């Protein structure tokens, strides 16, 4: 019995050491541009005060362009990113994401500055299943996304697991989905007013009331490249960028002026939530490990001292 008690107590000591070593590892929200709320949401199309918008990934001139953005973590240290959540608008009322898409992908890379080619890392595993999301206090009684023809379309939150992703500053990201031919691939959806596709949800930061440090009201368009592929017009001056992407501002200025922006009356940023935790410095890990070891040794010595009295 005493032997069992000793084992149990040593187990507690080791548990304490593990707790000490894992301090600071709990996930927290590192960056957020959550869904906006209030009467500026879902105003009729063309209203300059509308805060929310969705952007479709699309093909132009033979290039497949997907909408992306960036997020920034506190500089000066490393951060381990556990998950990145984005929001999408489905093409038809009553559908689930699995009805419209067979797979999803999130692309992440350090921000190299605009009009620059960069390699990326793709993440394809979701944390759980997509969850239905709604706006709070939106106009017109639609808590989903109010489309051009007045249809209230469902919104879903996709949370991607990002194992091994460590960042130190600003990261670019973009998301896409493999569309099923539920209504014909890229054919008429939403009552014939839009093409079927992957629609990213975004918002005007100033109208949504976001903190000024979390928005630029400027998206990044990504052009995914296959080997020996060109991206965009000749004015982009990028050729044969294997497995990379090309980013340009969604303001339709500069070398990508030939790419249309769409009909939204405001600038916007993608809604995103980033979770993770700080990566402890090697000295910190060593300190906690030594502290746990010291506690363990002290407990063992104390037990031996007590044993000499009892025996």
Same domain, 131 and 38: yes
Please state the rounded mean pLDDT for residues 58-75: 80
Q: How many CB atoms lie within 10 A of CB 178?
A: 11
Same domain, 153 and 293: no
Same domain, 207 and 294: no
pLDDT tens digits, one per residue of 225-273: 543 445 554 333 333 333 445 444 444 333 333 333 333 445 788 999 9
Shortest CA distance to 230 belongs to which of 113, 66, 110, 117?
117
Quick one: pLDDT at residue 95? 92
pLDDT tens digits, one per residue of 129-157: 999 999 999 988 899 999 878 889 999 99
Q: How many CB atoms lie within 10 A of CB 192?
A: 8
What is the four-CA torsion angle of 229, 234, 238, 243, rounded to 10 degrees?
-20
> 64 is written with which tokens?
């497949």
DSSP assignment letter at 36: P
Mean pLDDT comparison of 16-20, 153-157, 174-178, highest-scoring range: 153-157
Quick one: pLDDT at residue 97? 96
Q: Produce one character per residue of 133-149: b if its CB has 16 or more CB atoms within 10 Å, e if not.
A: bebeebbeebbbbbbee
Furthest CA-CA distance within the chain: 89
Q: How many CB atoms lie within 10 A of CB 93?
A: 13
Q: Average per-residue pLDDT in the chain?
A: 73
Question: What is the pTM assigned to this prediction?
Answer: 0.75
Residue 7 class from Cβ within 10 Å (0-12 exposed, 13-18 middle, 19+ buried)?
exposed
Same domain, 273 and 289: no
In a domain, 31, yes or no: yes
Q: How far is residue 72's CA from residue 274's CA, in Å, rounded to a whole number?
A: 10
DSSP assignment letter at 191: G
In a domain, 14, yes or no: no
Same domain, 113 and 206: yes
Same domain, 160 and 261: yes
DSSP assignment letter at 112: -
Same domain, 191 and 308: no
pLDDT tens digits, one per residue of 70-108: 899 998 899 999 999 999 999 989 999 999 999 999 988
Quick one: pLDDT at residue 222? 74
**Number of domains into which the chain is organized:** 2
| ∠ Cα 172 252 193 (to 5°) | 95
Which residues lie closer than 8 Å to 181 by C-beta, 6 or more apart? none
Domain that holds residue 63: 27-279
Residue 37 has pLDDT above 90, yes or no: yes
């Amino acid at each position: 019995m005493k032997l069992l008690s000793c084992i149990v107590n040593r187990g507690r000591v080791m548990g304490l050491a593990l707790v000490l070593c894992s301090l600071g590892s709990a996930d927290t929200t590192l960056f957020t541009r959550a869904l906006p709320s209030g009467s500026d949401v879902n105003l009729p199309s063309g209203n300059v005060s509308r805060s929310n918008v969705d952007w479709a990934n699309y093909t132009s001139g033979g290039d497949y362009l997907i909408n992306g953005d960036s997020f920034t973590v506190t500089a000066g240290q490393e951060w381990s990113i556990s998950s990145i959540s984005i929001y999408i608008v489905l093409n038809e009322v009553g559908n689930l994401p699995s009805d419209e898409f067979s797979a999803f992908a999130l692309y992440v890379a350090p921000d190299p500055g605009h009009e620059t080619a960069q390699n990326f890392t793709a993440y394809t595993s979701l944390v759980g299943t997509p969850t239905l999301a709604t706006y709070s206090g939106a106009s017109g009684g639609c808590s989903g996304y109010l489309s051009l023809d007045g249809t209230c379309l469902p919104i879903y939150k996709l949370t991607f697991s990002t194992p091994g992703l460590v960042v130190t500053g600003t990261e670019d990201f973009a998301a896409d989905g493999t569309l099923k031919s539920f209504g014909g691939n890229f054919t008429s959806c939403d009552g014939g007013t839009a093409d079927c596709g992957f629609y990213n949800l975004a918002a005007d930061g100033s109208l949504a009331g976001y903190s000024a440090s979390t928005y630029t009201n400027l998206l990044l368009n990504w052009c995914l490249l296959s080997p020996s592929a060109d991206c965009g017009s000749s004015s982009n001056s990028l050729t044969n960028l294997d497995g990379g992407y090309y980013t340009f501002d969604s303001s339709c200025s500069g070398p990508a002026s030939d790419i249309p922006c769409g009909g939204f009356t405001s600038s916007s940023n993608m809604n995103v939530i980033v979770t993770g935790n700080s990566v402890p410095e090697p000295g910190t890990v060593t300190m906690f490990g030594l502290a746990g070891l010291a506690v363990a040794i002290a407990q063992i010595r104390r037990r031996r001292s007590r044993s000499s009295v009892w025996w």
